[in-house]
Each structure stands twice: as C-alpha cells, then as structure tokens.
C-alpha cells in the first residue's frame, strides 16, 4: 500500500518542519542547512526538494494522490469490487482526511508566520 508511505512521508515532513521552526534561531538559521532525514519528497518527484516551494508542491501532490486513491477505492467498493473491503475503504478515507487536515495546519502556520513578519516594524 503506497498510501501508507505517502502519509508517513507527510507526517515526517511536518515533524521536521516543526523541529526546524522550534530550533534556536528559528527558520532563518536554516537557509543554508541540509534538510533533515525525515524531510524527503515523495519518490515520484526527487528533484522537487531543491527549494522550499518544490518541497511544498511535492507535499501537496502527495496529499492529492492519497485523496485520489481513497476516492478510487470508495468507487470500487460502491461498484461491488470483491477485492476492496469496506474496512480498506474507511481506512484509506481516514488517511486522506488526516493528511488533508495536516496540510491545512501547515498552511495555517505559514500564514500566521507571514502575518507576524508583516507586523514587525523595521
């Protein structure tokens, strides 16, 4: 099941971002630093980790892929596919929901950080 590894990668990225932002010196001190081991892009986009934007794009794509897989499993179950059980469908839908909520929390934290920087007086 590649959906599990996608969710694990997203959670690893969130944990790594949390560690980077809580480190002494904040996010400003990590501009030239190497990425932690848990902060890896999904296998389908290895070149996307060259920048923060690329890493963010790869994370959003992983969440999208998880949601598409959950939708496909739900559709297969609705059609009566004997290879898909209700348990598998519910688990994949929950994984998609958790990964989307995690992505939204990261987005909210980024917006809060941007607003805080904009409120700073120079």
> pLDDT tens for residues 66-113?
999 999 999 999 999 889 999 999 999 999 999 999 999 999 999 999
3-state helix, strand, coil in the chain (%, to 5): 75, 0, 25
Q: What is the pLDDT of residue 121?
A: 85
- Euclidean distance between the first and final Cα of the chain, in Å? 50
How far is the C-alpha of 106 from the C-alpha of 120, rounded, in Å? 21
Given a contact cutoff of 8 angstroms between Cβ atoms, the answer to whether 103 and 10 are in contact is: yes
Kindly report, residue by residue over 17-57, the tens digit of the pLDDT.
677 666 554 444 444 344 344 434 444 444 545 788 888 89
Confidence grade of residue 3 (pLDDT, cut at 50, 70, 90): low
Confidence grade of residue 12 (pLDDT, cut at 50, 70, 90): confident
């Amino acid at each position: 099941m590649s959906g599990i590894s996608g969710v694990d990668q997203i959670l690893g990225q969130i944990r790594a971002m949390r560690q980077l932002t809580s480190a002494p010196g904040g996010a400003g001190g990590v501009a030239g630093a190497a990425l932690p081991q848990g902060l890896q892009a999904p296998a389908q986009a290895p070149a996307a980790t060259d920048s923060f934007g690329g890493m963010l794009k790869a994370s959003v794509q992983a969440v999208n892929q998880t949601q598409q897989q959950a939708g496909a499993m739900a559709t297969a179950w609705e059609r009566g596919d004997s290879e898909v059980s209700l348990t598998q469908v519910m688990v994949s839908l929950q994984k998609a929901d958790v990964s989307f909520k995690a992505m939204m929390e990261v987005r909210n934290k980024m917006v809060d950080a941007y607003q805080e920087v904009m409120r700073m007086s120079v």
